[in-house]
Structure 1
């Protein structure tokens, strides 16, 4: 499909990569920095921005890097609503911040939140009810599905979900999207790594990147005061 001489797929890709990203985070009753009853360290002290991975931990090259206090929530509307966490950022009742990296068809968001809203079991149950998902981004519609995948190589217990689908016009899914989300809960926080790849096939390099960033971010949280 063409629009003004440009393929709609290419035209949509800019909006998709900048708008269709996402996070799932959480909430807890643990007071900031307070040791927990089991004797383990409580939530990290200090600002979340200092906990986030620096630019050098992301891929080399010309990709953009930005730290934001509030991850973007301007992605598509999702139905069923509970499936939103696999496509967009859910509002959470605690502090969080994100390091966002973007390079062409690839976008990566690493989010740290001081709390836990959804347990692994809750996320798994939601994923089981999201086998068929509908998207609407300002009239650009799409469909997709969510599935669970096993996490291997994470330094702590972690969960992985994968959204696959697309957005298009006139019933055509012209922009294919894959969103992989890795989630862990070190020290009562929520560490989320989301990797979105649009337009191009998903590769094993994307899997390696997601796992590497997850382990690096977990390590920073565990070593923080």
Structure 2
């Protein structure tokens, strides 16, 4: 009998933050613009009221988790899982039914946009293994439309299942921006249901709100 994975199990294993290879210090830039915002990353996160109203759960994580499926090619991991970064970060996590959203603020810079685009180009065929539950998918990347700052947009589309059957549809959209030498990442996971324009709107709205909060922080 085909096994159907619950959203909780998928969400716990598949989500969030982009990888990092370089760190930016917090002092002001030579052009007079501010450097990294003060305070810990948790203080910069969006509050519960900025997420959808309703019965969805909201939690602040001091360190995004690292549980997730093995990904091949390994460099494609950044489009599916948490990755370790050499700077402070925190996540506001929202979940409601088939959707999960992680908004992450990190006090440093991830791979350049061009480096991420190059990696995405090598991730057109991705395989996953989650405790014996296997899946396949692909990654597409481009510039996000409607963002208030320069932002990359990547979309992982695939599925998980047993015996070669893709029984659970998965879409993970990631928006990444670099305001003030920080990294703002919004990941939206939709499982078991088709992706919709409302999901696109939610990701962009949260990205712009979080960028504004980082830009306006002391």
Q: Under a length normalisation based on structure 1, what TM-score does the superposition of the two structures give?
A: 0.93
Instruction: Tell whether 2:110 aligns with 1:110.
Output: no
In structure 1, the partner of 2:195 is: 202
Give the deviation of 1:149 after TM superposition: 3.5
The DSSP-based 3-state class of the residue aligned with 1:141 is strand
Quick check: 2:59–2:93 contact (8 Å CA) kept in 1? yes
Indicate conservation of the 8 Å contact 1:26/1:113, yes or no: no
Report 1:140-219 matches (<5 A): 140-219=133-212
Q: Is the 8 A contact 1:147 1:163 kept in 2?
A: yes
Partner residue, 1:5: none
Q: Distance in 2 between matches of 1:205 and 1:184?
A: 21
Unaligned runs of 5+ in 1: 3-7
Task: Give the root-mean-square deviation of aligned CA atoms.
Answer: 1.2
Deviation of residue 26 (structure 1)? Answer: 3.1
Aligned 8 A contact 2:24 2:109 in 1? no
In structure 2, the gaps of 5 or more residues are none
The Cα offsets for residues 6-35 of structure 1, whole Å up to 9 and x where unpaired, read as: xx22x4433112221121043544333x10
Matched, 1:63 2:56: yes
For 1:15, the equivalent position in structure 2 comes to: 9
Within the candidate set 32, 45, 61, 1:39 is matched to 32
8 A Cα contact 1:22 1:73, kept in partner: no
Deviations 1:51-101 (A, max 9, x none): 000000000010010000111211111000000000001100000000000
Is the Cα–Cα contact under 8 Å of residues 78 and 135 in structure 1 kept in the other structure? yes
Indicate which of 63, 67, 70 corresponds to 1:77: 70
In the alignment, the residues of structure 2 paired with residue 113 and residue 76 of structure 1 have an alpha-carbon distance, to the nearest angstrom, of 23
Q: 2:166 aligns to what SS in structure 1? A: strand
Query: In the comparison of the two structures, how many residue pairs are matched?
Result: 218
Alpha carbons of structure 1 residues 17 and 30: separation in structure 2 relative to 1, 3 Å: closer
**2:171 is paired with a residue of what secondary structure?**
strand
8 Å Cα contact 2:64-2:91 kept in structure 1:
yes
Offset at residue 38 of structure 1 (A): 2.3
**One of 80, 89, 92 as aligned partner of 1:87:** 80
Distance 1:92 1:194 in 2: 16
Instruction: Classify 1:43/1:25 alpha carbon distance in 2 versus 1 (closer, same or farther; 3 Å).
Output: farther
**What are the superposed Cα offsets for residues 160-207 of structure 1, whole Å, 9 maximum, x if unpaired?**
000000111111111110000000000000100000000000000000
Q: Which has the higher mean CA deviation after the structures are superposed, 37-46 or 75-84?
A: 37-46
Partner residue, 2:125: 132
Structure 1 stretches of 4+ moved >2 Å: 11-14, 25-32
SS at match of 1:53: coil
